[in-house]
Amino acid sequence: MYLNFGRLLLWLCALALHSITLAQPTPVGVAASAGARPVERSTGEWLARMHEATRHGAYVGTFVVSSASGGMSSSRIWHVCDGAQQVERVDALTGAPRSTYRHNDQVVTFLPRSGLVLQERRDSLRLFSDLLQNQDASISEFYSARLVGADRVAGVDADVLLLEPRDRMRFGYRVWSERENGLVVKLQTLDADGRVLEQAAFSDLRLDVRINMAQLIEMMGRTQGYRIERLEPTPTTAATEGWVLKTGVAGFKLMSCIRRPPTSLAQQGKPQGATIQWIFSDGLASVSLFVEPLDRRANDREISLVMGATRLLSRRVQDAWLTVVGEVPQQTLQVFSQSLDRAH
């Protein structure tokens, strides 16, 4: 298999994760708890409210991620934002120890077992509370939103919103939005038949807590005893790199195109050279295209993987190796992969 597992893990850490439960929300009109009746809003209003909830205040909580295949992980998160600055800390509670800090677009990941610290620029840690990736008005062209119930999650009252795709090129979502400020406290990803693929949910949550922002920033600078590796992607364009995407998927817009330098964790035995990453998003779902040097020694058969709601497709494209990954149906990845070609 050509795909390097270490690199795959790094890629997947950059993607949104969710988890699964089969419990259904209480229908509208049947009160899950005392409180005001949920307010009807447009698709754009709901999403903007959820997005804005991450830009003010603070919270601490534990969220659990699991998938229909049985996988499960959990993390502890601290989040504080004063409107101008955002600081987050996320500690993995399962798997290899890992702590990730973000101060605005500066991200630092501590890997104690490797004695390694990764430093990079990134707009988000892609937590499930970052559901709305951009506030493009065209989102409503590809999703419809309707209020379907009320519920309680981790001790807080929540409105339950169903986001249904208008085509089969993207998944649907069931979202639990905290009643007072709109924070996403639970999220299910649904296939075309409404089955739950993944779910992420807070198992405990404290809102409006006092978090020392300066202390978190200071902690992300404690790198003594670690080997520091700086990941400094360079902005680029597909044309500059000699590639063209002949067609795309309606609604998915180019968010960025960068050159990623090889890392010591992902480059084990691989041909030298940077990886080109294109990121596309329809505002909710995202798809990344990774184009890297071809390893002539490796088997170049096509690879397809499914992990909860995340799909991956990897294959040779002329003189390079392409990996397409995202929280979308496999047919969406196929369209992207078949559209890539060398610019002539």
- CATH number, position 302: 3.30.200.100
Mean pLDDT is highest, among 15-19, 258-262, 316-320, for: 316-320
Whether 344 is covered by a domain: the verdict is: no
Q: How many domains does the chain divide into?
A: 2
Q: What is the mean pLDDT of residues 179-191?
A: 94
| pLDDT single digits (tens) 235-249 | 999 999 999 999 889
Q: 48: which 2 tokens?
A: 């903007």
Domain containing 25 equals 5-207
Q: Which of 34, 328, 53, 338 is nearest to 178 (CA)?
A: 53
Instruction: Give the mean pLDDT of 96-106.
Output: 95
Q: Do 21 and 99 belong to one domain?
A: yes
Considering Cα of 264, then 266, then 308, then 146, what sign does the dihedral take? positive
Residue 125: band (very low, low, confident or very high) from pLDDT cuts 50, 70, 90: low
Per-residue model confidence (pLDDT) at position 35:
52
pLDDT at 151 over 70: yes
Same domain (yes/no): 44, 164: yes
Domain presence at residue 287: yes
Provide the CATH number for the domain around residue 16: 2.50.20.10
Q: Is-contact 10 266, C-beta < 8 A?
A: yes
For position 248, what pLDDT does the model report?
Answer: 87
| Judgement on whether residues 12 and 161 belong to the same structural domain of the protein | yes
Q: Find, among 174, 190, 180, the residue nearest to 158 by Cα.
A: 180
Residues 33 and 161 in one domain: yes
The mean pLDDT of 166-183, rounded to a whole number, is 94
What contacts 164, CB < 8 A, 6 or more positions away? 143, 144, 145, 146, 172
Q: Are residues 191 and 266 in the same domain?
A: no
Do 195 and 80 reside in the same domain of the chain? yes
Query: Residue 223 falls within a domain, yes or no?
Result: no
If asked whether residues 174 and 28 sit together in one domain, one would say: yes
C-alpha angle 99-103-104 in degrees, rounded to nearest 5:
135
Distances (CA, A) of 87 to 52, 104, 147: 15, 6, 31
* Residue that terminates a domain, selected from 174, 207, 240: 207
Mean pLDDT for the chain overall: 83
Q: Is residue 288 part of a domain?
A: yes
DSSP 112: G
Do 175 and 268 belong together in one domain?
A: no
DSSP per-residue codes, 176-188:
EEETTT--EEEEE
- What are the start-end ranges of the H helices in 270-329? none
* pLDDT(124) > 80: no
Question: Rounded mean pLDDT of 298-314?
Answer: 89
Contact between 264 and 292 (Cβ < 8 Å): no
The reported pLDDT for the residue numbered 91 is 97
Residue 298 lies in a domain: yes
Compute CA 319 distance to the chain's CA centroid, rounded to the nearest angstrom.
29
The verdict on residue 249 lying in a domain is yes
Q: Are residues 78 and 182 in the same domain?
A: yes
Same domain for 165 and 48 = yes
Higher pLDDT, 278 or 47: 278
pLDDT of residue 52: 84
Q: Find the range with the poorest average confidence among 80-84, 120-124, 333-337.
A: 120-124
What percentage of the chain carries pLDDT values higher than 90? 61
Mean per-residue pLDDT for 17-39? 42
Average pLDDT over residues 92-100: 96
Under the banding of pLDDT at 50, 70 and 90, the label for residue 137 is low
Q: How many residues does the chain have?
A: 344
Which of the residue ranges 6-15, 100-109, 292-301 would you say has the lowest mean pLDDT? Answer: 6-15
CA distances from 141 to 144, 163, 169 (A): 8, 12, 13
Q: Do 277 and 176 have their domain in common?
A: no
The residue-averaged pLDDT of 164-182 equals 95
Percent of the chain scored above 70 by pLDDT? Answer: 81
> What's the CA gap between 220 and 209, in Å, rounded?
20
pTM: 0.83
Q: Are residues 14 and 120 in the same domain?
A: yes
Pairwise CA distance, residues 344 & 342, whole Å = 6
| Structure confidence at residue 266 (pLDDT) | 52
Model confidence pLDDT, tens digit, residues 248-266: 899 999 999 999 877 665 5
CA 49 to mean position of chain CA atoms? 19
273 DSSP 8-state letter: S
Domain end: 207, 224, 255, which one?
A: 207
Q: Is residue 214 part of a domain?
A: no
